[in-house]
Amino acid sequence: MVKNAPADSIFGSLDLGNVAFHGWSGGAQMVSWLFQASAVGQLPGYGVAGGIMTAGGSYQCYNDPPNALDICSNCSVDTSHYMKGCSDEIVSCGMQPTCEYCCPTHHTEDWYKAHPEDYKTHPWTFLAQSDPDNYADSCASKHYHDEMRRNNAYSELHTLTGDAVRCYAVGDPSDPTVPAADNFSKFCNNPNMTSWNHTMLWSALVEPVTQFLLNAFENNSKRQEN
């Protein structure tokens, strides 16, 4: 039964009381912002079950001081020399992270920072990122996931290691999720082919994402019933 959607609308086949959002890169931060909007009551009629966030994290990533938070609070706005990698590893080595490549630790959304007791109803999250990620804080997803788990909220983190990056966008014959007859897999043998390690065309994510969504929707339905 469709909830909260007129039958003749483009949402007529959707249950708005049980939805999930997906975003890649800056879109991952958008998902975090939608969690914030939902928490403060700006998405009336929507029941947010979860979010799939790839190559990104909190909407508070990549801020400049004085808005930069936690580990990023002393980040550098100098773009002539980028410090790329995992921001907390950069800081632990005594170096200053670049603001455009820094995501805060101990932070998902502002509402939950101020109301940690509400993490028990935080939408479930599925996070995925390649390591290293040359176009984001390589720990953007990990920082978000760690804070979710620290507050006993449900979160999954999937990391694509660097040795698989070159082939993962076109298929890898050694990957059981790639069909044996996949004609694109032959490109992995070409040393001139590579993948942009910020993209997330990773076939091994399909089944985990599907199972995550089924479980998140079921959990949200049960929570609403209670």
Amino acid at 141: S
Mean pLDDT across the stretch 74-82? 87
Mean pLDDT across the stretch 2-16? 62
Q: Flag the least confident range among 86-95, 134-143, 193-202.
A: 193-202
CA distance 31 to 153: 16
Amino acid at 121: T
Q: Give the model's pLDDT for residue 182.
A: 56
The pLDDT tens digits for 48-72 are 999 999 999 999 999 999 999 999 9
Q: Give how far the C-alpha of residue 207 lies from the chain's centroid of Cα atoms, to the nearest Å.
A: 17
Average pLDDT, the chain: 86
Q: Give the model's pLDDT for residue 1.
A: 32
Residue 39 confidence class, pLDDT cut points 50, 70, 90: very high
Please say if the pLDDT value at position 226 is more than 80: no
What is the DSSP-derived secondary structure letter of residue 21?
E
Q: How distant, in Å, are the alpha carbons of 6, 100, 128, 169 from that of 155?
A: 33, 25, 11, 25
Q: Give the model's pLDDT for residue 158.
A: 92
Mean pLDDT across the stretch 74-97? 89
Please say if the pLDDT value at position 120 is more than 70: yes
The pLDDT tens digits for 168-197 are 555 555 666 665 555 555 666 666 655 667
Q: Give how far the C-alpha of residue 56 lies from the chain's centroid of Cα atoms, to the nearest Å.
A: 5
Mean pLDDT across the stretch 111-122? 97
CA distance 19 to 17: 6
Residue 199 confidence class, pLDDT cut points 50, 70, 90: confident
